[in-house]
Amino acid sequence: MSTVVGSDPPDSAGNRAPAVELDRVTRRYTGTTAVESVSVSVRDGEFFTLVGPSGCGKTTTLRLVGGFESPTEGVVRLAGEDVAEAPPEDRDVGIVFQNYALFPHMTVRENVAYGLRFAEPPGGVPTAERVERLLDLVDLAGMDNRDPDELSGGQRQRVALARALAPGPAVLLLDEPMSALDAQLRERLRVQLRDIQSELGITTVYVTHDQEEALAISDRVAVMRSGQVEQVGRPREIYRQPETRFVAEFLGDNNVLTGEVLAVSGGTDPVRTTVRLDGTQFDLAIDAGGHVRQPRVGDRLTFCVRPEALTVDGAENTLTATVETTEFLGETTRAHLDWNGVDLLARTAAPLEGRVTLGFDPGDTHAVAVE
Ligand code: ATP
């Protein structure tokens, strides 16, 4: 089954309007700006995630797309159309909230069919057939006569997903749909969700505060902080090339260090830069085409090194630190280190203990600020 409706045909140059577009959107409440001048563009068929800490404006952004909130300023467009005047039921979006809110007095089948209260099933198929197909898609075939209280949390969430997909919306909006589930189930469900999303090719905007989930599930991620979008990019890009200290620290463990620039090699890319931190010199390779300006001697350079880049085999950029605590994580162990009063994290296959000398490759560093 693959019913995708509501997308504009490509123009003569083959360009489609973004499926979802927020153009400098602000949402203020008395005393709070929940969303401030957010501009994002979600492509047709993309799995796009809004991630950030609690209160950063993710849910409000999603509600603005769904039509449950109106912008104080700015424009929301769906398939190129300004939807300011359109109520949620006219927006061609399906939404699954955090508390999936199935109707307890309705069976699974009735709950999914409820998704068709404003719309005919796509493709003119009878409602019963549409519901059956959707239950099959979310792997709940044969459970149509059950009541919601006869289902597990993960199954209930899949019913909510089937209900949201029932009218064949152009866009699927998901607000922390797995937050009530345990970690293992969440991991399983996210694989299923991604499979369903790819099968349908449906544009999806997903909200989570879980950075690992965001990296695992998305085509692209927008990292939000205090109502604003701090960075948008593919998971690997955001993880490897965070543009700000906040993104560097929010997505996964990181060591963020600031030192004084002693030397900069001209004309190379990456630019070899020597920094001094607490009496120790480090040699870094800074991407010249990056988002920070090229460092100059005397600048203060803030850079990050992922814990997995600090290794006992590292011959360059060595430092000797004391292991304070370790956490066993299965395949790796995370060590909290003290290096002359600076807290560092390392992640190694073999557990570290006592005094250790670690090194990192100049290319495994990333600059986040030059001042
Ligand atoms: P969480 O992960 O905790 O759900 P979030 O990132 O989704 O958070 P929002 O729910 O969008 O954040 O809220 C952003 C900010 O706007 C918060 O400071 C919140 O208190 C405020 N806010 C949200 N809705 C309202 C409202 N209806 N009235 C007043 N303030 C609101």
CA 62 to ligand 1: nearest atom: 11
Residue nearest to atom 2 of ligand 1 (CA): 54
Q: Specify the CATH number of the domain 20-241.
A: 3.40.50.300
The protein residue whose alpha carbon is closest to atom 8 in ligand 1 is 55
Q: Measured from the CA of 61, which atom of ligand 1 is nearest?
A: 11
Nearest 10 degrees: Cα torsion 134, 138, 141, 146: -90
The rounded mean pLDDT for the chain is: 91
pLDDT above 60 (res 10): no
CA of 76 to the centre of ligand 1 (A): 19
CA distances to 96, 101, 103, 165 from 106, rounded to whole Å, are 18, 12, 6, 18
Bridge partner list, 229: 224
Model confidence at 37, pLDDT cuts 50, 70, 90, reads very high
CA of residue 34 to ligand 1 center, whole Å: 6
pTM for this prediction = 0.89
CA torsion 362-363-364-365 (nearest 10°) is: 70
Q: Is the CB of 53 under 6 A from ligand 1?
A: no
Tens digit of each residue's pLDDT (9 = 90 or more) over 45-88: 999 999 999 999 999 999 999 999 999 999 999 999 999 999 99
pLDDT score at 130? 93
Query: How far, in Å, CA of 56 to CA of 339, rounded?
Result: 33
- What's the pLDDT score for residue 290? 73
| CA–CA separation, 157 and 147 (whole Å) | 13
Using a pLDDT cut of 90, give the percent of the chain over it.
Answer: 75
Q: Is residue 209 lining ligand 1, measured as CB closer than 6 Å? A: yes
Cβ–ligand 1 distance for 70 under 6 Å, the answer no
- For residue 123, the 8-state DSSP code is G
Q: Whose Cα sits closest to atom 29 in ligand 1? A: 29
More confident residue, 287 or 40: 40
Bigger pLDDT: 117 vs 262: 262
| 301 contacts 367 by C-beta, under 8 angstroms | yes
The Å distance, Cα 195 to ligand 1 centre, comes to: 30
For 130-243, strand residue ranges (E) read 171-175, 203-208, 220-225, 228-233
Say if residue 100's pLDDT is above 80: no
For the chain, the domains span 20-241, 253-370
Q: Are the CB atoms for 282 and 291 separated by under 8 Å?
A: no
Strands (E), the chain: 20-29, 32-42, 47-51, 73-78, 81-82, 93-96, 171-175, 203-208, 220-225, 228-233, 255-264, 271-277, 280-286, 300-305, 319-328, 333-339, 342-348, 355-358, 365-370
* pLDDT mean over 167-184: 89
The answer, yes or no, to whether any atom of ligand 1 lies below 6 A from the CB of 58, is yes
Which DSSP state fits 311? B
CB-ligand 1 contact for 208 (6 Å cutoff):
no
Which alpha helices (H) appear in 56-102, and where do they start and end?
58-66
| Cis amide prior to 270 (ω within 30 degrees) | yes
Predicted local confidence at residue 179, as pLDDT: 82
Q: Which helix (H) or strand (E) holds 188?
A: helix 183-200
Confidence of residue 1 (pLDDT cuts 50, 70, 90): very low
| Spatial CB neighbours of 298, under 8 Å, sequence gap ≥ 6 | 260, 261
- Structural class in CATH, domain 253-370: mainly beta
**Cα separation values, 75 from 80, 194, 211, 284, Å:** 11, 29, 28, 43
**3-class secondary structure, 206:** strand
Cα-to-centroid distance, 54 and ligand 1 (Å): 8
Query: Are the CB atoms for 10 and 47 separated by under 8 Å?
Result: no
Indicate whether residue 157 lines ligand 1 (CB < 6 A). no
Determine the Cα–Cα distance for residues 257 and 302; give it in Å rounded to an integer: 5
